[in-house]
Amino acid sequence: MNISPALAEVLGAYGLKGEPESCSKLDGGHIHETYRVDFNENGKPVSYLVQCVNTYVFKDIEGLMQNVVNVTEYLADIIKQNGGNPEREALKVHYTKDGKSYYTAGDGRCWRCYGYITGTHAIQAITDAESFKNAGRAFGRFQCLLADYPIASLNETIPNFHNTVSRFADFKKALADNKSGRAGNAVKETSFVLSREKDCSVLVDLLDKGELPLRVTHNDTKLNNILFDDETDEGICIVDLDTVMPGLSLYDFGDSIRFGANTASEDEKDVSKVSLSLEYFEAYTRGYLSTAGKSLTAKEIEYLPFSAKLMALECGMRFLGDYFNGDVYFHTDCPEHNLVRCRTQFALVADIEMKMKKMQDIVNACRREFSL
């Protein structure tokens, strides 16, 4: 098996000796560089997930890995107490030969290593409502598992990550700086954002007024951050814990809908294919409320539909801001990639705005169904 010298150096640092049987790059994330590496350890197949951490995005790797270690250990304990299987339901951090949770390579890049949970799969797009309901159950359960996690002990790995007021300010700065010189290519998209400034402060204001509770949240609840059991299709393990931070439950709900209930992918060039699937919205809402509903306040439930719109708007703003900044944050495959991506998000926002009443009806029906 031919692996790059860089990866070989990392495997060596983790004491993973000998030739791996196979190694593949895993696509799907926009931030890190991820590999699955399979070994045969004394006749037993053992797989690892080896990841080069994007330290442009996560500037404090120590703080990041401290969170990841603490959260994964906490989850494993609770899952064990609840009679679950921590080996399959929680990520496990592996340590270098020097006992560190990450390895800084000779070229300065930082790597980490998790156990690869076999017998599971990730999904990049929803094709049936039942899977999305399972996704909702999984993220709802995850939120409940972390309900008593000591919130103050978490490092803020990306400050103001979902603070849409500061995201809006970042967007305006990117527009004004226009480092890439491409702002003129996105006049319509820019005014789409600027005309929605008021939306950006809605949840932040409710939080400031104490009308929404601060919780430990995942903050990156994309569908492909769930591992589904190959046999049962249940979402059994939540991954990508880099942004577990204090936040709003609505950020997690809204981001899941933004990604999974979109009838097109984030990269779709034909925006006429973009819409909010009410069927998928209903499925996720039902799944999520079935596991997390009892722990939510009435205000949190009330704002579920709005959160989907806000998270799509935020994500679009971030893609467009990165386009203005010269594609420094998100991995891109072509020069227009971030522009294409922001258009799908804005088309979704526009569609959600038209479907808001129907989404509210769905939430109210679920609320009655679960007596919330």
Residue 315 engages ligand GN1 in binding (rule: CB under 6 A): yes
Q: How far is the CB of 239 from Mg ion (least distance, A)?
A: 7
C-alpha to C-alpha distance for 147 and 158, rounded to whole angstroms? 21
> Quick one: 46 or 122, whose CB is closer to ligand GN1?
122
Query: For residues 221-240, which are near ligand GN1 according to CB under 6 A?
Result: 222, 225, 240
Instruction: From 33, 30, 12, 22, select the one nearest 109 (Cα to Cα).
Output: 33
In the complex with ligand GN1, the residue whose CB is nearer, 151 or 158, is: 158
Residues between 338 and 367 that touch ligand GN1 (CB under 6 A): none
**Smallest distance from the beta carbon of 157 to ligand GN1, in angstroms?**
8
Rounded to the nearest angstrom, the gap between the alpha carbon of residue 136 and the centroid of all alpha carbons in its chain is 13
Which residues have a Cβ under 8 Å from the Cβ of 181 and sit 6 or more positions away? Answer: none
Question: Minimum distance between the CB of residue 161 and ligand GN1, rounded to whole angstroms?
Answer: 7
8 A C-beta contact, residue 340 and residue 269:
yes
Instruction: Please report whether residue 243 would count as binding Mg ion according to CB under 5 A.
Output: no
* Nearest partner of 259 among 300, 230, 223, 305, judged by Cα: 223
Instruction: Give least dist CB 221 to ligand GN1, A.
Output: 9
Identify which of residues 203 and 362 has a Cβ nearer to ligand GN1 in the complex: 203
Q: Does 322 bind ligand GN1 (CB under 6 A)?
A: no
Q: How far is CA 351 from CA 16, 277, 347, in A?
A: 50, 10, 6
Q: How far is the CB of 223 from ligand GN1 (least distance, A)?
A: 10
Q: Does 308 bind ligand GN1 (CB under 6 A)?
A: no
Minimum CB–partner distance for residue 172 and ligand GN1 (Å): 19
End-to-end CA distance of the chain: 55
Applying CB under 6 A, the span of 24-32, 97-105, 163-171, 296-304 interacting with ligand GN1 comes to: 24-32
Indicate which single residue of 240, 242, 266, 351 sits in contact with Mg ion (rule: CB under 5 A). 240
Min separation Cβ 319 and Mg ion, Å: 16
Q: Is residue 31 at the binding interface for ligand GN1, with CB under 6 A as the rule?
A: yes
Number of residues in contact with Mg ion, rule: CB under 5 A? 3
| Beta strands 235-238 and 226-229, pairing class | antiparallel
Site for ligand GN1 in 237-296 (CB under 6 A): 240, 242-243, 266
Residue number of the CB closest to Mg ion reads 240
Question: Looking at 9, 26, 29, 88, which residue binds Mg ion (CB under 5 A)?
Answer: 29
CA distances from 252 to 123, 130, 190, 287 (A): 18, 19, 25, 14
CA distance 207 to 215: 11
Task: Examine residue 63 and tell whether it contacts ligand GN1 (CB under 6 A).
Answer: no
Sequence letter at residue 116: Y
Q: With CA atoms as reference, report the closest residue to 253 among 203, 211, 209.
A: 203
CB of 75 to Mg ion, least distance (A): 17
Helices 61-81 and 129-145: crossing angle, nearest 10°?
100
Does the CA dihedral 246-247-252-253 come out positive or negative? positive
Applying CB under 6 A, the site for ligand GN1 has a residue count of 12
Tracing tokens 């300065």 back to the chain, one arrives at 108
SS (H, E, C) 299-339: HHHHCHHHHHHHHHHHHHHHHHHHHHHCCCCCCCCCCCHHH
- Residue 30 interacting entry, from Mg ion, ligand GN1, none, C-beta within 5 to 8 Å by type: ligand GN1
When CB distances are held under 5 to 8 angstroms depending on the partner's kind, the choice from ligand GN1, Mg ion, none that residue 53 binds is: none
Q: Is 80 helix (H, G, I), strand (E, B) or coil?
A: helix
Q: Give the binding site for Mg ion (CB under 5 A).
A: 29, 225, 240
Q: Give the binding site for ligand GN1 (CB under 6 A).
A: 29-31, 57, 220, 222, 225, 240, 242-243, 266, 315
